[in-house]
Amino acid sequence: MYTVALSEMIKEFNLVLLASNVDTSDSLLTHPDINRPALQLAGFYDYFDADRIQIIGLVEYTYLQKMSVEERCGTLRRLLSHQVSCMVLCRGLAPFPEMIDFAEEFKVPLLGSPDSTTDFMGEVIRWLKVHLAPRITLHGVLVDIYGEGVLIMGESGIGKSETALELIKRGHRFVADDAVEVKRVSHQTLIGSCPELIRYFIELRGIGIIDVKQMFGVESIKATQSIDLIIKLEFWDKKKKYDRLGLREEFLDILGNNIVCHSIPIRPGRNTAIICESAAINHRQKKMGYNAAKILNERVISNMTVE
């Protein structure tokens, strides 16, 4: 289970602490989803997940406002006694006095936001999905090539870092070398980044460590990048049959997401950087609906039919 400090969310969204006697310094968020406790305010607690952030919008606030003080106290006590991770009032709504009292009693962070409920929910969910996403660290190099995130993998010493360096010189942007931290932010999207300790550094055998940011400028680097394509470099094997048409795509499973993967044989004379660049362009064309291999195959079949 991954966590993110509540204090980071408070800072990110400029939230106001409405219950000043509640300490938020050690509070952690563990769930990427949120909840608007409309059913809970009506007394229905089946399947209630207290780990989620509880959002009070205009609808919930108006419902509470129409209650008598005694009813509101009972409803809020019941809700906050579940030790929810935190409660946020949107639209700049002022908390009820009893809401503050119960928040302090049960040590529940009570926060306020001036944003509309829908806007705040959308941004918080997006932010939590990234910070609490399942993750893994892979050995490889991540480069942004024409907007396509290309993860270059292979054995140590096969030339991944040298390929990345050539791509940087050709105007593409470098993300990570050696260790790539991959997060699954959705069932379709993987986001790659570099550990802070080695960010923007590349190791070149025989030369040592170089700083890409200092050597090539800020336009040559990128903090994060979606992973759209995987290039697996491997030493040339005469006995192995390599795909020469590309009609069938291979995939590599990473955290449950299938990413298109090309195995590229390496031997003297092959320009790996240009191959990676061409693979990225070809992958982008396929996403736009143009598949060169299929068109050539259709032409060949058509020609055979005519003859």
Confidence of residue 247 (pLDDT cuts 50, 70, 90): confident
Locate CATH 3.40.1390.20 in the chain.
4-131
pLDDT tens digit sequence for 152-211? 999 988 989 999 999 999 999 999 999 999 999 989 999 999 999 999 999 988 889 999
Mean pLDDT, the chain, integer? 92
Tell me where in the chain the CATH 3.40.50.300 domain(s) lie.
Answer: 135-296
Name the residues annotated as catalytic. 139, 160, 178, 244
Burial class of residue 11, CB neighbours in 10 A (0-12, 13-18, 19+): exposed
> pTM here?
0.82
Residue 40's pLDDT band (cuts 50, 70, 90): very high
Side by side, the strands of the sheet bearing 190-193 are: 224-226, 190-193, 173-184, 135-145, 148-154, 229-235, 257-266, 250-254
Cα distances (angstroms) measured from residue 129 to each of 15, 101, 262: 19, 31, 29
Query: Which CATH number does 4-131 carry?
Result: 3.40.1390.20
- pLDDT given at position 307: 57
Q: What is the pLDDT of residue 205?
A: 84
Structural domain 135-296, CATH architecture:
3-Layer(aba) Sandwich (3.40)
CB 40 within 8 A of CB 79: yes
pLDDT at 245: 77
- Cα–Cα distance between 16 and 110 in angstroms, integer? 8
Mean pLDDT value of segment 271-285: 93
* Tokens coding 171: 């105007």
Per-residue model confidence as pLDDT tens digits over 71-87: 999 999 999 999 999 99
Whether the predicted pLDDT of 129 surpasses 80 = yes
From residue 307, give the alpha-carbon distance in Å to each of 238, 293, 294, 302, 303: 35, 21, 20, 9, 6
